A and B are shown apart, each in its own frame.
Chain A
Amino acid sequence: MVTISECEQRTDVQLVSLSMENQEYYYCLMKRYEIPLMNYVRKLSGMNRPDAEDVLQEIFILTYQNLNDYDRQFKFSSWIYRIAHNQTVSVLRKKTKNSQDISWEEHDLEQLVHSDVDIEQGFLQKMGFHDLLQIIDLLPLKYKEVLLLKFVEGKDYQEISDILRKPMGTIGTLINRAKKRLLQEIEKTQSR
């Protein structure tokens, strides 16, 4: 059995190569991405934990089956996030989402607020955390996913482009539109 400490000094790319020879090394890769991907799946989909765990297991199996498709010119994290994204969206299309269990956290929202000087400062306090969560969750998926990748997962434009398989220019446009749309929704809520 390969131990986590054995894997710690290995890069993702090395672990991919080793996983082809020995499945135990794949455990290390999964362990490395388990928490970030679980958070990503839950934030993107609003799924409860057991459902998200099922999706995550499918993601890991798909990733393993497709290891030979991994191209070293990309970051492994972008590649595995792409698989996670596609699988989550695919499951979302099949299932009715359980929006009661939204997993965005206050910390995520603060990152989003501080990321953009155009966004009205302090609105988070004004409108309340729960209301904001509901607004973000109501945004179309194409806006929600870029906000999540940029401000919560901290990905740069190139990584988001590789994850969503869209040109970088389109990613920039989507992020700007997502921010504007979020502001509009907030203003609408505040004026009610």
Chain B
Amino acid sequence: MTDISKKTLEKIKKERIHPKPRWYFLTRNYFFWLMFALTTFLGSIAFGMILLVTGNLDWDIYPYLGLSLPEAVVISLPYLWIVLLAFFLFITYYNFIHTRTGYRYRFVVIFFISLIISALLGFGFYQYGWTETVERQLRSRIPGYQHLVYTGENQWMHPEKGLLSGIIKEIDPKKKSLQLKDYQGTEWTIDINQAMIRGNMPLIENLEVRIIGQKASENVFTATEIRIRMWGPQQGKGRR
């Protein structure tokens, strides 16, 4: 048998082969930890967005849209954010198993631990209103974002079915009416004579509201209930 060891040592000497420096391997290992942290952070944002989007929906208005609860759940789930969360969890798993001893843990263990971390951080982001900032940025910077996620705005943009939402542009206390600009840019005159107002603040300009009522004529809507739209963890309090 050939002396492979001797042959190899000669080759190492002849070709001046040297061990790669330690920093090269440390950098590679830190890179995977850094990517692990980054994807966990992005997964947390995705989780926070799921909380924000689902919390922003009103689950009691589906009868107006002629939908049962299961149907409502199917159309309302924030699929984009669920898919992104799953994607980030998978990338987190991939990065973790490429750390020095990450392969010793089973997929389900890494997956659930990542999910728990993302859920805790995501809940924190949601509580501090960071996801709300992300949502506003996405809505203003990404064209068509509203079509990708079934938001409260999508849910309430059905004037023919008695649901309308938008921003108050002007209030006329004498006529008991207000001017509202919906999320598609249409201006509406809202008759609030019969309206019950739900929220812990008075109606003011630039306030986001959701209205239940009836379309009276073109761009005129008679309100029976007005809900003041709160953002983030405050949402829902307007209904009490």
Could you tell me which A residues sit within 8 Å of B by CB distance?
Answer: 20, 23-24, 26-27, 30-31, 34, 38, 49, 53, 56-57, 60-61, 64-69, 71, 73, 161, 165-170
8 Å CB contact of A67 from B1, B19, B106: B19
Q: How far is the CA of A68 from the CA of B26 in the complex (A)?
A: 9
Q: Flag the segment in B4-12, B45-53, B132-140 that touches A.
A: B4-12
5 A-B residue pairs with CB within 8 Å: A27-B6, A57-B7, A67-B19, A68-B19, A165-B97
Interface residue? B59 (CB, 8 A): no
6 shortest A-B CB distances, which residue pairs?
Answer: A30-B5, A165-B103, A69-B25, A67-B19, A68-B22, A60-B8
Contact B24 A68 (CB under 8 A): yes
Tell me which residues across on chain A come within 8 A of B7, comparing CB atoms. Answer: 57
Tell me which residues across on chain A come within 8 A of B11, comparing CB atoms. Answer: 57, 61
Residue from B4, B100, B106 having most chain A Cβ neighbours under 10 A: B4
Q: Which residue of A lies closest to B105 (CB)?
A: A167
Contact B2 A53 (CB under 8 A): yes
Q: Give me 15 other A-B pairs in contact (C-beta within 8 A), A61-B11, A66-B20, A170-B106 excluded.
A: A23-B12, A23-B13, A26-B9, A26-B12, A27-B5, A27-B9, A30-B8, A31-B5, A57-B8, A61-B17, A64-B12, A68-B20, A68-B21, A68-B22, A161-B103
Within the complex, the shortest CB–CB distance from B51 to chain A, in Å, comes to 32
8 Å CB contact of B25 from A24, A68, A161, A167: A68
Q: Chain B contact residues: over half helix, strand or loop, or mixed? A: helix
Identify which of residues 74-105 in chain B touch chain A, using a CB-to-CB cut-off of 8 Å: 97, 100-101, 103-105
Tell me which residues across on chain A come within 8 A of B22, comparing CB atoms. Answer: 68
Could you tell me which B residues sit within 8 Å of A by CB distance?
Answer: 1-2, 4-9, 11-13, 17-22, 24-25, 97, 100-101, 103-106
Tell me which residues across on chain A come within 8 A of B25, comparing CB atoms. Answer: 66, 68-69
Within the complex, the shortest CB–CB distance from B10 to chain A, in Å, comes to 10
Q: How far is the CA of A73 from the CA of B104 in the complex (A)?
A: 13
Q: How far is the CA of A162 from the CA of B78 in the complex (A)?
A: 40
Tell me which residues across on chain B come within 8 A of A66, comparing CB atoms. Answer: 19-20, 25
Contact B4 A56 (CB under 8 A): yes
Q: Chain A contact residues: over half helix, strand or loop, or mixed? A: helix
Q: Which residue of B lies closest to A4 (CB)?
A: B5
8 Å CB contact of B4 from A26, A57, A73, A166: A57
Tell me which residues across on chain B come within 8 A of A27, comparing CB atoms. Answer: 5-6, 9
Contact B5 A60 (CB under 8 A): yes
Tell me which residues across on chain B come within 8 A of A68, comparing CB atoms. Answer: 19-22, 24-25
Q: Which residue of B lies closest to A49 (CB)?
A: B1
Q: Which residue of A lies closest to B2 (CB)?
A: A53
Contact B21 A61 (CB under 8 A): no
Contact B20 A166 (CB under 8 A): no
Contact A61 B8 (CB under 8 A): yes
Within the complex, the shortest CB–CB distance from B53 to chain A, in Å, comes to 35
Q: Which residue of A lies closest to B21 (CB)?
A: A68
Q: How far is the CA of A101 from the CA of B100 in the complex (A)?
A: 36
Within the complex, the shortest CB–CB distance from A66 to chain B, in Å, comes to 7
Within the complex, the shortest CB–CB distance from A85 to chain B, in Å, comes to 13
Q: Which residue of B lies closest to A168 (CB)?
A: B104
Within the complex, the shortest CB–CB distance from A161 to chain B, in Å, comes to 6
Q: How far is the CA of A100 from the CA of B218 in the complex (A)?
A: 85
Q: Which residue of A lies closest to B7 (CB)?
A: A57
Within the complex, the shortest CB–CB distance from A78 to chain B, in Å, comes to 12
